[in-house]
Amino acid sequence: MDTSGAFEETVVFLDYFKALAEPRQRGKVVYSLDEVLLLCLLAVLAGAESIVDIARFGEKKLALLRRFRRFADGTPSHDQLGTILATLDAESFQQCFVSWVAAVTGAPAEVIAIDGKTSRRTVDKKGAKAPLHMVSAFAARQRLVLGQRAVGEKSNEIVAIPRLLDMLAIEGAIVTIDAIGCQRAIAAKIIDKKADYVLALKRNQSGLHDDVALFVAEQKANGFKDTATSRQQTIDGDHGRIETRTTTVIEDIAWLQARHPWPGLETVVIVDSTREIGAKTERETRLYISSLTLDAATLGPIIRSHWAIENSLHWVMDMVFRDDECRLRTANAPANFATIKHISHNLIRKAPGKDSFRLRRKVAAWDDDFLASLITA
């Protein structure tokens, strides 16, 4: 990736993307990769939602772009941008992203939530190509994307999650995953990388689930008299809703470990929820397995923090970045555009101030100096 002639203020950021291989023939390169990346990133930060938007941003903001790179030949058309994003190696781009985030965040994340999201309009009906499904790792406390892997469909998350974990430095972290990630190989990978796990347990692991569910039912029936537990109850209420959650942690599971030798398995966690909305009451019981030996007061918030990836990432990608409306379908373009949006998400999230995410993005469109500050801070 050529950075000749780069200005000092952006070298620090773009330096992490030097390893990207140039997919175009050497003699046919008009716009360097760092110019293309900078254009795409600034445009998305300022509200661009498509390749056409990015190309128009380049036309209108050439003076701004030249504060950071030469752009001697102006900016690429939307067709040229589409071709570059389609041919750029998506896996290498994601690995560069991971390296950048690791440098930005510094200390390892405490809780890492892993979950998948589908960009619904990236489906190619003519070519029978499934929509882009991206599995992301999200730092629950810092609210930053740590890495991502593109997969063909949701069922491929089982393969993608170990590969995503291989990309990340997770030693000392707690990894939370929903039921699709409740797999022996994934648990083993997390333990091998000196981290811990909390995995949602459902019927995709039918033998383990049925044994745990029967045990829990028996213990509830006799008031947990036969086993040592840690329990905590919390009550939350807003907008006319009252939710009572009881978290129960059971460490006395030698019998379960003998029947189901899962790597690192130490505890079973039960979360009983009661939601009252007006005259309506809903009850739900969720089961988890974990390598942690922590009390309920500590494990309960860790389990709840998993939903940060839904509320602070997936929701933002849909409602702010309009991810579900993205129509890119060609080759690597959907995955690479998703990575650009994740870079933008992290840069906006790190910006100082109390403005909402949506308002920060609007200010980036209105104020060139604020937009520039997002990539030079």
pLDDT in tens, the chain (377 residues): 444 444 444 547 788 898 888 888 877 789 999 999 999 999 999 999 999 999 999 999 999 999 999 999 999 999 999 999 999 999 999 999 999 998 877 766 799 999 988 865 555 555 555 678 889 999 998 899 999 998 866 568 899 999 999 999 999 999 999 999 999 999 999 999 999 999 999 999 999 999 999 999 999 999 998 888 899 999 987 777 899 999 999 999 999 999 999 999 999 999 999 999 888 999 999 999 999 999 999 999 999 999 888 888 988 888 888 877 777 768 888 899 999 999 999 999 988 888 999 999 999 999 999 999 998 86
* Environment class of 377 (CB within 10 Å of its CB; exposed 0-12, middle 13-18, buried 19+): exposed
Q: Where are the beta strands (DSSP E) in the chain?
A: 111-119, 132-139, 144-151, 174-177, 196-201, 229-238, 241-250, 267-277, 280-290
Q: Which long-range contacts (CB under 8 A, 24 or more apart) does 56-62 make?
A: 61/368
Best CA proximity match to 165, nearest among 147, 153, 179? 147
Position 6 scores a pLDDT of 42
Residues 364, 68 contacting (CB under 8 angstroms): no
Position 296 scores a pLDDT of 95
* Domain limits, the chain: 8-92+330-376, 198-292
- The C-alpha angle 299, 301, 302, rounded to 5 degrees, equals 60
Which residue type sits at 91?
E
Position 233 scores a pLDDT of 94
Best CA proximity match to 187, nearest among 292, 303, 305? 292
Best CA proximity match to 373, nearest among 343, 351, 356, 344? 351
Residues 134, 117 contacting (CB under 8 angstroms): yes
Best CA proximity match to 341, nearest among 67, 116, 92, 37? 37
Which residue has tokens 């979360």? 271
Position 5 scores a pLDDT of 43
Max CA pair span of the chain: 77
Position 292 scores a pLDDT of 97
The total of other beta-carbon atoms located within 10 Å of residue 89's CB is 15
Residues 119, 131 contacting (CB under 8 angstroms): yes
Position 240 scores a pLDDT of 74
Best CA proximity match to 243, nearest among 213, 302, 283? 283
Distance between CA atoms of 331 and 90, rounded to whole angstroms? 10
CATH hierarchy code of domain 198-292 = 3.30.1300
Tokens found for residue 31 = 């716009």
Position 228 scores a pLDDT of 82
